[in-house]
């Protein structure tokens, strides 16, 4: 029996339970990506809530890899004190925090990124805001190097690990997917070539942080798009990473163009709608030796516990439930096992775009209503 609340270790990183806060953009940073004290407080609250591992919102490694407003950036040494405050705030609450590193590639927003987006191929697919320019080999190497510097900074500044964002249609995923990668050089074509960018990034990060530091990845097990990354190719990518020494794979699926099968599906209001990436994650689990995390629609204790205990998932990851209830892990630990109150409406994105930070819009409305009544 593998209980949800059990101590585990990932390459020296001690985790108090098997619940992970999946990366969640908060929209709380300055335009250059400098994290705010509001963001540090936000992470301290998450740590206080009892989650085993916090993975930060996606953090751009180079300015042209920026997508949403208020996104974290780690492209410069200048942010050292700000990030040190953030990691110290988490550690002071007994939390553990890994940073998610990303380059948005063709999904970058030209207004936020300050230039035409860069992508494996100069093709505008549905979820790209503009036609990107094709990355040349020198630019590819610069981005690979930037991932390495970013990981080195993260380690120096107190992060307990890093997670590469290889999911949801961002640059690593764009290279993996035949839909966005039409290259005819060594980075395109068969799956071995389409994995090349991801492996260069992984190896560069590993070179910089060393073997005794957790390097994880969030990987799409399927894009749910005609012509996109399929399950067999995703399994190939997972095996490659595993052999190269990745410390954990978080399984997700879909991109912003995948409609109802996007990464953050709506209306997860019954147990049968939960855990919508579990089957894909079970498949990945059979292919690799490293720990597997699964994200997507976990809302009830029983579904989470079953995924760990019966389906042999090493970790379950959640995003939206912890926006509404950062204290959910401790609530479950204390014995109140009622499901997360998140209704998966995705309205939390709106204040992230317009009000300088995400929060649960519904919870705020309900709270205000109660306050007016009393
Ligand atoms: C507001 C918001 C921001 C998100 N930001 C990120 C992100 O920065 N990186 C990432 O990998 N996924 C991001 N996601 C996706 C979540 O990590 C997760 O994969 C998805 O929401 C499904 O999990 P859930 O049902 O527990 O919310 C975000 C989701 C939401 C709702």
Per-residue model confidence as pLDDT tens digits over 1-21: 569 999 999 999 999 999 999
User: What does the mean pLDDT of the chain come to?
Assistant: 97
Q: Is 168 in the pocket of ligand 1 (CB under 6 A)?
A: yes
Cα distances from 297 to residues 30, 276, 304, in angstroms, run 30, 6, 10
Q: Is 157 in the pocket of ligand 1 (CB under 6 A)?
A: no
Q: Is 299 in the pocket of ligand 1 (CB under 6 A)?
A: no
Nearest residue (by CA) to ligand 1, atom 14, is 24
Q: Is 348 in the pocket of ligand 1 (CB under 6 A)?
A: yes
Q: Is 222 in the pocket of ligand 1 (CB under 6 A)?
A: no
Per-residue model confidence as pLDDT tens digits over 86-119: 999 999 999 999 999 999 999 999 998 899 999 9
With vertex at residue 33, the alpha carbon angle to CA 32 and CA 34, rounded to the nearest 5 degrees, is: 100
Question: Minimal CA–CA distance to 244: which of 285, 209, 211, 277?
Answer: 211
Burial of 313 (0-12, 13-18, 19+ CB in 10 A): buried
Choice from 39, 101, 264 to test ligand 1 binding pocket (greatest atom count within 8 A of CB): 264
Atom of ligand 1 nearest to the CA of 58: 8
Question: Minimal CA–CA distance to 58: which of 204, 171, 155?
Answer: 171
Q: Is 55 in the pocket of ligand 1 (CB under 6 A)?
A: no
Confidence (pTM): 0.98
CA of 320 from ligand 1 middle (Å) equals 7
Residue range 265-272: average pLDDT? 93
What percentage of the chain has pLDDT greater than the value 70? 99
Task: Give the Cα separation of 151 and 50 in Å (integer).
Answer: 25
Nearest residue (by CA) to ligand 1, atom 21, is 264
Per-residue model confidence as pLDDT tens digits over 30-68: 999 999 999 999 999 999 999 999 999 999 999 999 999
Q: Which of 42, 43, 83, 170 is catalytic?
A: 170
Query: Catalytic site residue 170?
Result: yes
């Amino acid at each position: 029996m593998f209980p949800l609340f059990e101590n585990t270790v990932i390459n020296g990183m001690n985790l108090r339970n098997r619940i992970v806060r999946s990366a969640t953009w908060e929209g709380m940073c300055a335009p250059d990506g400098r994290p705010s004290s509001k963001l540090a407080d936000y992470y301290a609250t998450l740590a206080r809530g009892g989650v085993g591992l916090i993975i930060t919102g996606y953090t751009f490694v180079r300015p042209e890899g920026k997508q949403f407003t208020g996104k974290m950036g780690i492209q410069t040494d200048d942010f050292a004190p700000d990030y040190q405050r953030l990691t110290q705030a988490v550690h002071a609450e007994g939390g553990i925090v890994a940073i998610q590193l990303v380059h948005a590639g063709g999904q970058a927003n030209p207004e936020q990124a300050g230039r035409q987006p860069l992508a494996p191929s100069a093709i505008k697919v549905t979820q790209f805001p503009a036609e990107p320019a094709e990355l040349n080999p020198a630019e590819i190497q610069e981005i690979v190097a930037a991932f390495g510097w970013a990981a080195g900074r993260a380690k120096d500044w107190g992060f307990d690990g890093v997670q590469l964002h290889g999911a949801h249609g961002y640059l690593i995923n764009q290279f993996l997917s035949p839909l966005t990668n039409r290259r005819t050089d060594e980075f395109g074509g068969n799956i071995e070539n389409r994995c090349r960018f991801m492996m260069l990034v992984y190896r560069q990060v590993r070179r910089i942080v060393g073997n005794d530091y957790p390097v994880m990845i969030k990987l799409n097990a399927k894009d749910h798009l005609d012509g996109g990354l399929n399950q067999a190719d995703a399994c190939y990518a997972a095996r490659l990473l595993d052999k190269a020494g990745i410390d954990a794979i978080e399984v997700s699926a879909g991109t912003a163009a995948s409609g109802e099968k996007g990464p953050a599906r709506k209306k997860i209001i019954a147990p049968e709608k939960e855990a919508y990436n579990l089957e894909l994650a079970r498949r990945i689990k059979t292919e690799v030796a490293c720990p597997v995390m699964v994200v997507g629609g976990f809302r009830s204790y029983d579904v989470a516990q079953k995924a760990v205990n019966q389906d042999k998932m090493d970790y379950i990851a959640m995003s939206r439930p912890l926006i509404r209830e950062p204290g959910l892990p401790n609530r479950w630990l204390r014995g109140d096992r009622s499901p997360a109150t998140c209704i998966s409406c995705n309205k939390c994105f709106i204040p992230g775009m317009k009000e300088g930070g995400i929060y649960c819009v519904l919870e705020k409305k309900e709270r205000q209503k109660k306050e007016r009544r009393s």
